[in-house]
């Protein structure tokens, strides 16, 4: 059996918000497998055990540019080390310029984008100069250029921490704005169930079955309970299944909203700054000691 280390317990706790001892027991039961341990905790503790897995850690901004006819759009995420730099005018300008270049030049990847002309140099030379000026690393993480099948609506929220482009047909400008705002707030993983990984659905099915058995539900009812749980999960994570955040009755789904407006959605792009990245974590005492040592050296 793999050794259960303090760092493993800490990581599982950060993923799940579960008590330390529960994390250790789950890791022991899972033989040190973090993924299995998380599933064990979800069975024992419910959905709370996965809420911390999507915490946003890295800093930066999302920038969006689009054409005046709403037919083409670009969304870019640029990361930095601190929130302070994420508010710097030069950093924000770089993000906006990069989005504009993606829109106009349609580069295939970050390497090509970095080599495109910008100002007196290139995107990369501009980035390098800004790193030298500010003294903090920054990087272009990802971008998407969208050619609409209908028209594009966009939304940027929370100090440019969340950005959305949505391609829709029918309805009016307000519908497009409402859809983009909903996506930013509800953060769907896909448009519908076909966009959800089959392994994730199978995992939800296993978890639901284990929870039903632990609750001593009759075996004859378990299949029905499991399918109900899976459908509830899919409604929560797919755009069309989600309840519209502005629904007056608190029940209208996005699919129902679109039907009432004679509209449809071809797709959407959602960027949340730092999603899936780990923030640099400094030991406070060590940081103070390092600053004191640097002051002495000066």
Confidence class of residue 17 from pLDDT cuts 50, 70 and 90?
low
**81 shares a domain with 49:** no
pLDDT digits (tens, 9 = 90+) for 127-151: 998 988 888 889 999 999 999 999 9
Pairing of strands 138-147, 121-122: unpaired
Q: Do 94 and 178 have their domain in common?
A: yes
pLDDT at residue 226 tops 50: yes
pLDDT computed for residue 278 by the predictor: 58
Q: What is the pLDDT of residue 279?
A: 56
Residues 152-187: tens digit of each pLDDT: 999 999 889 999 999 999 999 999 999 999 999 999
CATH number at residue 98: 3.30.479.20
Q: Which residue has the higher pLDDT, 270 or 204?
A: 270
> Chain-centre distance of CA 154, in angstroms?
16
Residues 69-87 as b or e (16 or more Cβ within 10 Å = b): ebebbbbbbbbbbeeebbe
Classify residue 286 as exposed, middle or buried by CB count within 10 Å of its CB (0-12, 13-18, 19+). Answer: exposed
How many angstroms separate the CA atoms of 74 and 159, rounded? 18
The mean per-residue pLDDT over the stretch 247-251 comes to 91
Asked whether the predicted pLDDT for residue 252 surpasses 50, the reply is yes
Q: Look at the chain and report how many structural domains it folds into.
A: 2
Q: Are residues 76 and 163 in the same domain?
A: yes
Residue 235 to residue 48: CA distance in whole angstroms: 18
pLDDT digits (tens, 9 = 90+) for 103-116: 999 999 999 999 99
Res 98: pLDDT: 98
Selected residue with higher pLDDT from 42 and 65: 65
Sign of the C-alpha dihedral computed for residues 159, 161, 162 and 165 taken in this order? positive
Q: What would the two tokens of residue 112 be? A: 């090509």
Same domain, 91 and 70: yes
Give the phi and the psi of residue 18 in degrees, each rounded to 5.
Answer: -80, 155
Domain that holds residue 104: 59-191+266-272
The dihedrals phi and psi of 141, each to the nearest 5 degrees, come to -90, -50
- Torsion angle in degrees (nearest 10) through CA of 173, 177, 180, 182: -130
* 238 domain-assigned: no
Alpha helices of the chain — where are they, by DSSP H? 6-16, 20-29, 34-45, 83-86, 89-105, 110-114, 123-134, 173-186, 198-214, 219-237, 254-261, 284-297
pLDDT at 218 (0 to 100): 87
| pLDDT tens sequence across 57-79 | 379 999 999 999 999 999 999 99
Q: Are 29 and 73 contained in the same domain? A: no
Q: Which residues contact 129 (CB under 8 A, 6 or more apart)?
A: 121
Per-residue pLDDT, 214: 86
Structural domain contains residue 122: yes
Question: What is the Cα–Cα distance from 114 to 76, expressed in whole angstroms?
Answer: 13
**Is the predicted pLDDT of residue 45 greater than 70, yes or no?**
no
Condensed to tens digits (0 to 9), the pLDDT of residues 179-220 reads 999 999 999 999 999 999 999 899 888 888 888 888 888 888
Statement to judge: residues 154 and 100 lie in one domain: yes
One domain, residues 79 and 48: no
Q: Is 183 within the bounds of a domain?
A: yes
Contact 291, 190 (CB under 8 A): no
Q: pLDDT > 70: what percent of the chain? A: 87
* Mean pLDDT calculated for residue range 11-15: 80
Which of helix, strand or coil describes residue 191?
A: coil
Whether 89 shows a pLDDT value over 50: the answer reads yes
């Amino acid at each position: 059996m793999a050794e259960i280390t303090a760092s493993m317990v800490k990581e599982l706790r950060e993923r799940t918000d579960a008590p330390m001892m529960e994390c250790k027991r789950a890791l022991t039961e899972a033989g040190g497998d973090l993924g299995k341990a998380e599933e064990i905790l979800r069975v024992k503790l419910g959905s709370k055990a996965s809420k911390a897995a999507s915490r946003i850690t890295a800093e930066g901004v999302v920038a969006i540019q689009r054409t005046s006819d709403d037919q083409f759009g670009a969304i870019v995420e640029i990361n930095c080390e601190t929130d302070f730099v994420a508010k710097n005018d030069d950093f924000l300008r770089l993000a906006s310029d990069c989005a504009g270049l993606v829109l106009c030049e349609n580069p295939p990847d970050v390497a090509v984008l970095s080599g495109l002309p910008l100002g007196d140099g290139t995107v990369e030379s501009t980035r390098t100069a800004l790193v030298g000026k500010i003294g903090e690393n920054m990087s272009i993480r990802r971008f998407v250029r969208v050619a609409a099948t209908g028209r594009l609506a966009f939304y940027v929220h929370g100090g440019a921490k969340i950005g959305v482009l949505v391609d829709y047909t029918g309805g009016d400008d307000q519908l497009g704005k409402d859809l983009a705002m909903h996506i930013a707030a509800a953060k769907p993983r896909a448009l519908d169930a076909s966009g959800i990984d089959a392994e994730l659905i199978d995992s939800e099915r296993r978890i639901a079955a284990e929870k039903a058995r632990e609750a001593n539900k009759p075996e004859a009812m378990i299949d029905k309970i499991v399918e109900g749980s899976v459908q509830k999960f899919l409604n929560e994570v797919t755009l069309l299944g989600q309840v519209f955040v502005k629904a007056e009755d608190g029940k209208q789904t996005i699919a129902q909203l679109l039907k009432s407006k004679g509209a449809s959605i071809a797709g959407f792009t959602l960027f949340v700054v730092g999603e899936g990245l780990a923030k640099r974590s400094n030991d406070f005492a060590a940081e103070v000691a390092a600053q004191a040592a640097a002051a002495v050296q000066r």
